[in-house]
Amino acid sequence: MKDIKRLYAALEEAFAAQTAAVEEWHVPRAPLPVQAGGEDLRALILAQHASNFRLWHVEDRARRRDVPDAAIAACKREIDALNQTRNDGIEKVDRRLAILLEPFLPREAARRLNTETAGMAIDRLSILALKIYHMEEQTLRRDAGGEHRKACRDKLAVLRSQRLDLARSVLELLDDYAAGRKRPAAYQQFKMYNDPNLNPELYSHVGQQHPEDAP
Protein backbone atom coordinates (compact mmCIF):
# COMPACT_ATOMS: atom_id res chain seq x y z
CA MET A 1 0.00 0.00 0.00
CA LYS A 2 1.87 3.07 -1.25
CA ASP A 3 -0.60 5.54 0.20
CA ILE A 4 -1.39 5.37 3.91
CA LYS A 5 -4.93 6.56 3.13
CA ARG A 6 -5.46 3.24 1.36
CA LEU A 7 -4.55 1.49 4.60
CA TYR A 8 -7.06 3.63 6.50
CA ALA A 9 -9.72 2.81 3.91
CA ALA A 10 -8.91 -0.89 4.15
CA LEU A 11 -9.34 -0.76 7.92
CA GLU A 12 -12.65 1.08 7.69
CA GLU A 13 -13.85 -1.53 5.20
CA ALA A 14 -12.77 -4.30 7.58
CA PHE A 15 -14.66 -2.65 10.45
CA ALA A 16 -17.80 -2.57 8.30
CA ALA A 17 -17.17 -6.20 7.33
CA GLN A 18 -17.18 -7.16 11.01
CA THR A 19 -20.70 -5.77 11.32
CA ALA A 20 -21.93 -7.45 8.15
CA ALA A 21 -20.33 -10.77 9.10
CA VAL A 22 -22.20 -10.97 12.42
CA GLU A 23 -25.51 -10.96 10.56
CA GLU A 24 -24.28 -13.35 7.87
CA TRP A 25 -22.89 -15.84 10.38
CA HIS A 26 -26.16 -16.02 12.29
CA VAL A 27 -27.78 -17.68 9.30
CA PRO A 28 -27.99 -21.42 10.16
CA ARG A 29 -25.04 -23.43 8.84
CA ALA A 30 -23.30 -20.32 7.52
CA PRO A 31 -19.56 -21.02 7.11
CA LEU A 32 -17.20 -19.14 9.41
CA PRO A 33 -13.58 -18.44 8.48
CA VAL A 34 -10.86 -20.37 10.25
CA GLN A 35 -7.82 -18.75 11.80
CA ALA A 36 -5.97 -17.07 8.95
CA GLY A 37 -2.37 -16.42 8.12
CA GLY A 38 -0.78 -14.65 5.20
CA GLU A 39 -0.88 -11.03 4.19
CA ASP A 40 -4.54 -10.18 3.70
CA LEU A 41 -5.39 -7.76 6.53
CA ARG A 42 -9.15 -8.08 6.04
CA ALA A 43 -8.96 -11.88 6.19
CA LEU A 44 -6.90 -11.71 9.39
CA ILE A 45 -9.40 -9.32 11.00
CA LEU A 46 -12.40 -11.44 10.02
CA ALA A 47 -10.78 -14.67 11.19
CA GLN A 48 -10.10 -13.05 14.57
CA HIS A 49 -13.68 -11.77 14.57
CA ALA A 50 -14.91 -15.33 13.94
CA SER A 51 -13.11 -16.45 17.09
CA ASN A 52 -15.06 -13.87 19.07
CA PHE A 53 -18.29 -14.95 17.36
CA ARG A 54 -17.73 -18.57 18.39
CA LEU A 55 -16.64 -17.52 21.88
CA TRP A 56 -19.75 -15.36 22.39
CA HIS A 57 -22.10 -18.26 21.78
CA VAL A 58 -20.15 -20.79 23.83
CA GLU A 59 -20.11 -18.29 26.71
CA ASP A 60 -23.90 -18.08 26.40
CA ARG A 61 -24.22 -21.88 26.57
CA ALA A 62 -21.93 -21.99 29.59
CA ARG A 63 -24.49 -19.95 31.58
CA ARG A 64 -27.25 -22.54 31.21
CA ARG A 65 -28.55 -24.16 34.40
CA ASP A 66 -30.66 -26.88 32.77
CA VAL A 67 -27.82 -29.03 31.46
CA PRO A 68 -25.47 -31.54 33.15
CA ASP A 69 -22.26 -30.30 34.72
CA ALA A 70 -20.34 -32.21 32.06
CA ALA A 71 -21.82 -29.96 29.40
CA ILE A 72 -20.61 -26.85 31.24
CA ALA A 73 -17.16 -28.40 31.68
CA ALA A 74 -17.04 -29.02 27.92
CA CYS A 75 -17.96 -25.37 27.35
CA LYS A 76 -15.14 -24.27 29.64
CA ARG A 77 -12.60 -26.27 27.66
CA GLU A 78 -13.94 -24.84 24.42
CA ILE A 79 -13.76 -21.32 25.86
CA ASP A 80 -10.11 -21.83 26.81
CA ALA A 81 -9.24 -22.95 23.28
CA LEU A 82 -11.18 -20.11 21.65
CA ASN A 83 -9.57 -17.51 23.90
CA GLN A 84 -6.19 -18.77 22.77
CA THR A 85 -7.24 -18.52 19.12
CA ARG A 86 -8.68 -15.06 19.74
CA ASN A 87 -5.42 -13.78 21.22
CA ASP A 88 -3.34 -15.44 18.52
CA GLY A 89 -5.51 -13.58 16.00
CA ILE A 90 -4.89 -10.22 17.71
CA GLU A 91 -1.14 -10.78 17.47
CA LYS A 92 -1.41 -11.68 13.77
CA VAL A 93 -3.34 -8.47 13.07
CA ASP A 94 -0.77 -6.40 14.95
CA ARG A 95 2.15 -8.01 13.13
CA ARG A 96 0.52 -7.43 9.73
CA LEU A 97 -0.31 -3.82 10.58
CA ALA A 98 3.29 -3.22 11.66
CA ILE A 99 4.48 -4.44 8.25
CA LEU A 100 1.95 -2.29 6.38
CA LEU A 101 2.83 0.77 8.47
CA GLU A 102 6.59 0.39 8.14
CA PRO A 103 6.94 2.48 4.92
CA PHE A 104 5.14 5.41 6.54
CA LEU A 105 6.98 5.52 9.86
CA PRO A 106 9.58 8.25 10.40
CA ARG A 107 13.09 7.10 11.15
CA GLU A 108 13.04 8.80 14.53
CA ALA A 109 9.85 8.02 16.44
CA ALA A 110 8.98 8.85 20.00
CA ARG A 111 9.50 6.14 22.58
CA ARG A 112 5.89 6.52 23.66
CA LEU A 113 3.67 3.47 23.37
CA ASN A 114 -0.10 3.20 23.49
CA THR A 115 -1.90 1.45 26.34
CA GLU A 116 -3.23 -1.06 23.82
CA THR A 117 -2.23 -2.02 20.32
CA ALA A 118 -4.31 -1.43 17.23
CA GLY A 119 -5.02 -5.16 17.12
CA MET A 120 -6.39 -5.09 20.66
CA ALA A 121 -8.67 -2.19 19.74
CA ILE A 122 -9.84 -4.04 16.62
CA ASP A 123 -10.67 -6.97 18.89
CA ARG A 124 -12.87 -4.63 20.96
CA LEU A 125 -14.55 -3.43 17.76
CA SER A 126 -15.33 -7.08 17.02
CA ILE A 127 -16.93 -7.56 20.43
CA LEU A 128 -18.91 -4.34 20.07
CA ALA A 129 -20.26 -5.54 16.72
CA LEU A 130 -21.51 -8.67 18.47
CA LYS A 131 -23.04 -6.68 21.33
CA ILE A 132 -24.82 -4.39 18.88
CA TYR A 133 -26.33 -7.32 16.98
CA HIS A 134 -27.56 -9.08 20.10
CA MET A 135 -28.79 -5.90 21.78
CA GLU A 136 -30.80 -5.08 18.65
CA GLU A 137 -32.33 -8.55 18.90
CA GLN A 138 -33.54 -7.60 22.37
CA THR A 139 -35.26 -4.48 21.04
CA LEU A 140 -37.36 -6.71 18.75
CA ARG A 141 -38.44 -9.35 21.26
CA ARG A 142 -42.18 -9.97 21.29
CA ASP A 143 -41.98 -11.99 24.50
CA ALA A 144 -40.56 -9.03 26.46
CA GLY A 145 -42.33 -5.94 27.72
CA GLY A 146 -42.10 -2.44 26.31
CA GLU A 147 -39.92 -1.27 29.18
CA HIS A 148 -37.35 -3.95 28.40
CA ARG A 149 -37.29 -3.07 24.70
CA LYS A 150 -36.97 0.64 25.49
CA ALA A 151 -34.04 0.04 27.85
CA CYS A 152 -32.35 -2.06 25.18
CA ARG A 153 -32.87 0.64 22.53
CA ASP A 154 -31.12 3.11 24.83
CA LYS A 155 -28.23 0.70 25.34
CA LEU A 156 -28.06 0.03 21.61
CA ALA A 157 -27.61 3.73 20.89
CA VAL A 158 -24.73 3.89 23.37
CA LEU A 159 -23.05 0.81 21.91
CA ARG A 160 -23.25 2.20 18.37
CA SER A 161 -21.76 5.50 19.51
CA GLN A 162 -18.97 3.71 21.36
CA ARG A 163 -18.09 1.65 18.30
CA LEU A 164 -17.89 4.75 16.10
CA ASP A 165 -15.64 6.44 18.65
CA LEU A 166 -13.38 3.40 18.91
CA ALA A 167 -13.09 3.01 15.14
CA ARG A 168 -12.06 6.65 14.88
CA SER A 169 -9.55 6.15 17.70
CA VAL A 170 -7.87 3.29 15.82
CA LEU A 171 -7.33 5.53 12.79
CA GLU A 172 -6.08 8.33 15.05
CA LEU A 173 -3.60 5.89 16.58
CA LEU A 174 -2.28 5.16 13.09
CA ASP A 175 -1.96 8.92 12.60
CA ASP A 176 0.20 9.04 15.73
CA TYR A 177 2.40 6.27 14.36
CA ALA A 178 2.81 7.95 10.97
CA ALA A 179 3.63 11.29 12.62
CA GLY A 180 6.18 9.72 14.96
CA ARG A 181 4.26 10.68 18.08
CA LYS A 182 4.05 7.02 19.12
CA ARG A 183 5.60 3.82 17.90
CA PRO A 184 3.72 0.61 17.12
CA ALA A 185 4.30 -2.58 19.08
CA ALA A 186 2.90 -6.10 18.90
CA TYR A 187 2.50 -7.32 22.45
CA GLN A 188 2.93 -11.04 23.03
CA GLN A 189 0.21 -12.40 25.29
CA PHE A 190 2.05 -15.57 26.40
CA LYS A 191 -1.15 -17.11 27.77
CA MET A 192 -0.11 -19.67 30.36
CA TYR A 193 -3.33 -21.46 31.29
CA ASN A 194 -3.47 -23.59 28.13
CA ASP A 195 0.22 -24.54 28.16
CA PRO A 196 0.92 -27.85 29.93
CA ASN A 197 4.48 -26.67 30.54
CA LEU A 198 3.46 -23.38 32.21
CA ASN A 199 0.22 -24.10 34.07
CA PRO A 200 1.13 -25.76 37.40
CA GLU A 201 -2.34 -27.31 37.61
CA LEU A 202 -1.45 -29.22 34.46
CA TYR A 203 2.21 -30.13 34.87
CA SER A 204 1.99 -30.83 38.62
CA HIS A 205 -0.64 -33.53 38.17
CA VAL A 206 0.72 -35.36 35.14
CA GLY A 207 0.50 -39.07 35.79
CA GLN A 208 -1.37 -38.62 39.06
CA GLN A 209 -4.42 -40.80 39.45
CA HIS A 210 -7.65 -39.09 40.35
CA PRO A 211 -9.21 -40.66 43.51
CA GLU A 212 -12.37 -41.49 41.60
CA ASP A 213 -10.30 -43.46 39.07
CA ALA A 214 -8.59 -45.60 41.68
CA PRO A 215 -9.42 -49.34 41.52
40: three-class secondary structure by DSSP: coil
Confidence of residue 107 (pLDDT cuts 50, 70, 90): confident
Radius of gyration of the chain from its Cα atoms, rounded to whole angstroms: 21
121: three-class secondary structure by DSSP: helix
Q: What is the pLDDT of residues 168-197, one digit of tens each?
A: 999 999 999 999 999 888 888 888 888 888
CA distances from 68 to 4, 79, 81, 155, 210 (A): 53, 17, 21, 33, 21
Q: What is the pLDDT of residues 34-83, one digit of tens each?
A: 766 678 999 999 999 999 999 999 999 999 999 998 999 999 999 999 99
The answer on pLDDT for 33 being more than 60 is: yes
Its pTM stands at 0.87
Tell which phi-psi region holds residue 162, choosing left (phi > 0), alpha (psi between -120 and 50) or beta: alpha
Average pLDDT over residues 82-87: 93
